[in-house]
A and B are shown apart, each in its own frame.
Chain A
Amino acid sequence: MPMRCKRCRGPAVMEVRRHNAAFCRDCFLHYVGQQVTRAIAKYRMLGHTDRVLVAVSGGKDSLALWDLLLELGYQADGLYLSLGIGAYSERSKVVCQEFAAARGASLVVHDLAGEHGYTIPEAAGGTGRSSCGVCGLSKRYVFNRAALDGGYDVVCTGHNLDDEAAVLFGNTLRWDTAAMARQFPVLEATRPGLVKKVKPLYRVAERETAAYCVLKGIDYVVEECPLVAGNTQMRHKETLNQMEEAAPGTKHSFLFGYLDRAAELLKVADDADLTECARCGMTTQAPEDPAAEAVCAFCRSKARLTKTLPIVQVASR
């Protein structure tokens, strides 16, 4: 017996088990739009007069997000950061450029190697962080800085329900209460040098963002980043997906229960004092020793990396 759309009773193309529902194409697109609209309204993420910068990777989540924000009438430009991961990065950039061109949207392109002197494959092993760790650190830094320099009011990222549940799961396993306290769908710009960050897809599962792209004909990079295989977040997602299969709604309850009932209680755990980085002027945690120089994690990583990379040795001769 074919499934029927919960909303219009037509033939369904997409099942959403955690809501005990299935939808036809149009009703599914309506459902995703509704989830994003609810997320934006609940946390006052965006206004229609805001200049919005959407961090895009060429993957399903960020392109679905950019498409949704444009459809909802927001002034949303894209930001692509080239990470230097060979053909994967090249293809990702082209996909973002084609997406923007097809919609007459504006795409800002930054390049890690050109602007900061290293690529993510070079960074793997050079900083004491994993390649995914350096990648995340670099992206957070560049997104914030690009938004400040470009006069944007808010940065949107494509973190979805699965991403947020997996990060919360990892933080909970370690009882990393400071990280948990900072995990929220909106991070306000609490001081000069910080731009507001929001996650409008936190109510949408990643299987749903992929389906959104297929149904809208959005060409996204299906291949996985070659550096990501077996990373911690993937392992946590696999564990959560096993639990979800046995009990649909597990990820939703875990994340939403945290946001609605526990996040407020953990706010006291985010006790970091913030200051300006002595090297780049961006916001960073104040060192415990007041006499020590405050240098942000990005500048520290970059200094370690560029010391070890051949290009810098040549340049410094």
Chain B
Amino acid sequence: MLVTARLRPPDRVVEVADVRRVADLLARLEVLPGAVLVIRDGALLTSQDELRDGDKVEVRFAISGGG
């Protein structure tokens, strides 16, 4: 099973094998779940949502430094 994750910003694509749920994917990417949104086909996923082989997801960082 292989999931393609596009991390942005900046904009980096990585392939991750053998991850069953979104929480597993974020743990493998060493990304804090509270800092990102995970989007598949325009829809938001929760940490418990299951991933499928061939999924393409965006891991979008939601933390900005302006203000």
B14 at the interface (CB under 8 A from A): no
Which of B34, B47, B60, B61 has a CB less than 8 Å from the CB of A244? B34
A155 at the interface (CB under 8 A from B): no
Q: Of residues 164 to 215 in A, which have CB atoms within 8 Å of B's CB atoms?
A: 166-167, 206-207, 209-211, 214-215
A-side contacts of B52, CB under 8 Å: none
A104 at the interface (CB under 8 A from B): no
Which of A1, A223, A245 has a CB less than 8 Å from the CB of B34? A245
Q: Of residues 7 to 63 in B, which have CB atoms within 8 Å of A's CB atoms?
A: 8-10, 32-37, 39, 42-50, 60-63
Indicate if the CB atoms of A167 and B67 lie closer than 8 Å. yes
- A162-B43 contact given A1-B48, A223-B9, CB 8 Å threshold: no
Indicate if the CB atoms of B34 and A228 lie closer than 8 Å. no
B-side contacts of A225, CB under 8 Å: 64-66
A-side contacts of B8, CB under 8 Å: 222-223
Indicate if the CB atoms of A13 and B46 lie closer than 8 Å. yes
B-side contacts of A237, CB under 8 Å: 63, 65
Query: How far is B41's CA from A236's CA once the two chains are assembled, in angstroms?
Result: 32
Residue tally, chain B, CB below 8 Å to A:
27
B-side contacts of A211, CB under 8 Å: 37, 44, 62
- A57-B35 contact given A22-B46, A224-B9, CB 8 Å threshold: no
Indicate if the CB atoms of A224 and B65 lie closer than 8 Å. yes
Q: Of residues 204 to 257 in A, which have CB atoms within 8 Å of B's CB atoms?
A: 206-207, 209-211, 214-215, 222-225, 228-229, 231, 233-234, 237-238, 241-242, 244-245, 248
Indicate if the CB atoms of A214 and B37 lie closer than 8 Å. yes
A60 at the interface (CB under 8 A from B): yes
B-side contacts of A245, CB under 8 Å: 32-34
A-side contacts of B43, CB under 8 Å: 13
Indicate if the CB atoms of B63 and A228 lie closer than 8 Å. no
Which of B34, B44, B46, B49 has a CB less than 8 Å from the CB of A215? B44
A38 at the interface (CB under 8 A from B): no
A-side contacts of B32, CB under 8 Å: 241-242, 245
Indicate if the CB atoms of B47 and A234 lie closer than 8 Å. no
Which of B45, B62, B66 has a CB less than 8 Å from the CB of A210? B62
Query: How far is B46's CA from A118's CA once the two chains are assembled, in angstroms?
Result: 44
A163 at the interface (CB under 8 A from B): yes
Return the 6 tightest CB-CB contacts between A and B, nearest first: A210-B62, A234-B65, A228-B65, A207-B62, A13-B44, A163-B67
